[in-house]
Amino acid sequence: MSTYVAPVEEMRFVLDELAEMETLSSLPGYEEATTDLVDAILEEAGKFASGVLDPINASGDREGAKLENGVVRAASGFADAYQQFVEGGWNGICMEPDFGGQGLPAVLGTTVQEMWAASNMAFELCPLLSKGAMELLSEHASDDLKSAYLPKMVSGEWTGTMNLTEPQAGSDLAQVKTRAVRDGDTYRITGQKIFITWGEHDMAENIVHLVLARLPDAPPGIKGVSLFLVPKFMVNEDGSLGDRNDLRCVSLEHKLGINASPTCVMSFGDDGGATGYLVGQENAGIACMFTMMNSARLSVGLEGVAMAERAYQRARDYAKERVQSPVLGSGDSAPAPIIRHADVRRMLLTMKAQTEASRALSYFVSSRQDVARRHPDAETRQAAGALVALLTPVAKAWSSDIGIDVANTGVQVHGGMGFIEETGAAQHLRDVRITAIYEGTNGIQANDLIGRKVARENGVTIKALIARMRELDGDLAKAPEQVATMRNNLSRGISALEKATDWLLATYASEPARAAAGSVPYLRLTGIVVGGWLMARAALAAAERLANGDGNPAFMQGKIATARFFADTYLPEAEGLVEIAATGGAMAVDIAEDLF
């Protein structure tokens, strides 16, 4: 079984050419993100992923987390790996220095998080949730809560969770029934939450739960939901841990994948009420929680990238070793490694192109977060923030769909052996499947894109992005032929996105259901075109480096070839997706229910 190797050369290229790392390192507060520091972080993170996390991935999948007498035991090796993770300072590299973080750019955190997810997604889910919880508390909690909880969370000594849904609620958080009753300066929380990732475990000494609940006098619906910090153990004034709070894990879900990540049913207040602390204002919990949800959405999209990379590496390595059948048209009757067979090469290049395009999108969005947070010009910050908001549902849904598609193709490359667990290919498919469901299903992401992100602002941000993408046409026209050949398909793809956006803006207000029925192909169209634009930028940069004798020639040639394949294979879908978005959903809306 092959070992995961972090694609550091690829990551560094995307950071430099698409995320514009040099520009980010000049922003206020990011001056320490020097080339040497970035290189050192990528190298050490790669070692940790390959040497510590990857070896316990398959064993963790087989063993799983276990609930014993009210205590959740992580799979063998996980607690030790987590302590090494904490000791290495990995948990807080992008967190605020005021609370012990290193304050480095978010996009650098994105690169190392990809390594954690690719080598061991079940493990990575724990710091993923902690990251979102820390970002939420940093933005919305009181100073007292920040000083009491953030230092230990930033260090990794304490972990964080997201407690949103309940058995009757699903994705409709307006149906939340968990109750919060005022009790002096605190609140008593009672109710049950489901699907709580790493909601209970033995890897850290305390767990900080962020819980949505409803006050007795709250207005109905989503506007009556509040947010509370509910610790597993109470925290004394001196920072030491006190009594166990009134909360517990009552069961673990039995799942398709990510078996080493405990998915908990959490019960709050069985003995009178768990003590909770209000975060933000009463009845404004959803607005606060969106900080964590949006962070998680980008992280889940990145998991799609990571699992695609892992599945690609495993399939590529297997294809180089597996000898079967002579190569068609070679004139040689001897069996050859299957990587020489045309259809296997097509599958591998498909996997590679999809992975690189989704990585480019994830890193690009993350870099715009850094601009939105740190750029000295207010107008530039605002524009970058709007672009992040627009592309967050695309990065989440398109990248997670790609992760599933690539992992599925990875099983196919293995042939019958891909269906056998010992090869490891099946685990990638099982693990990544949840990403299309996490943090709002991909259909919900598509509805968010067309409604909140495009129609609500009359397409201002996506039109600005379309105009920016068109600016690349002149550079492609002057590029070497091997890159310039991408120009036509990219131009047609951008025009297709513009046409679909015009249809959406004309339709949404009067026929929102019809627009929603076309939202998934619209999101896919957006992902393909933006991904194609970023791949074209990568090809231009690689061609320039080749001409200047800068870097590894084979790597640059590979970047160009992969970008061309993406342009030839995926951008032609754009024009068809316009028609599907505009007309394909009509029957889904109009068909009588009894005909299903």
Active site residues: 439
Give the whole-angstrom CA distance, residue 490 versus residue 570: 10
Give the whole-angstrom CA distance, residue 435 versus residue 300: 6
Give the whole-angstrom CA distance, residue 425 versus residue 184: 54
Q: What are phi and psi of 246, to 5 degrees?
A: -85, 70
Question: Is the distance from CB of 387 to CB of 462 less than 8 angstroms?
Answer: no
Give the whole-angstrom CA distance, residue 400 versus residue 293: 16
Helix (H, G, I), strand (E, B) or coil at 127: helix
Question: Is the distance from CB of 517 to CB of 588 less than 8 angstroms?
Answer: yes
Position of tokens 């004394």? 236
Give the whole-angstrom CA distance, residue 157 versus residue 147: 15
SS (H, E, C) 61-102: HHHCCEEECCEEECCCCHHHHHHHHHHCCHHHCCCCHHHCCC
Number of Cβ within a 10 Å radius of residue 167:
12
**DSSP class per residue in 452-507:** IIIITTTTHHHHHHHHHHHTHHHHHHTS-HHHHTTHHHHHHHHHHHHHHHHHHHHH
Determine which helix (DSSP H) or strand (DSSP E) holds 251, and give its type and residue range.
Answer: strand 247-252
Position of tokens 């039109």? 463
Task: Measure Cα distances from 302 to 308, 363, 594 in Å.
Answer: 10, 9, 39
Position of tokens 């619209």? 522
The residue among 285, 69, 284, 260 whose CA lies nearest residue 162 is 285
Helix (H, G, I), strand (E, B) or coil at 226: strand
Give the whole-angstrom CA distance, residue 237 versus residue 247: 21
Collect all residues with Cβ–Cβ distance below 8 Å to 373 and sequence separation of at least 6. 106, 381
* Helix segments in 336-459, DSSP class H: 342-374, 378-414, 425-432, 442-448
Position of tokens 């068109």? 470
Give the whole-angstrom CA distance, residue 219 versus residue 41: 48
Joined tokens for residue 134: 């820390």
- In the 8-state DSSP scheme, what is residue 583? I
Give the whole-angstrom CA distance, residue 75 versus residue 82: 11
Question: Is the distance from CB of 99 to CB of 158 less than 8 angstroms?
Answer: no
Q: Residue 209's beta-bridge partner residues?
A: 161, 230
Give the whole-angstrom CA distance, residue 392 versus residue 526: 12
| Helices 285-321, 106-119: crossing angle, 10 deg rounding | 50
- In the 8-state DSSP scheme, what is residue 199? S
Give the whole-angstrom CA distance, residue 245 versus residue 189: 10
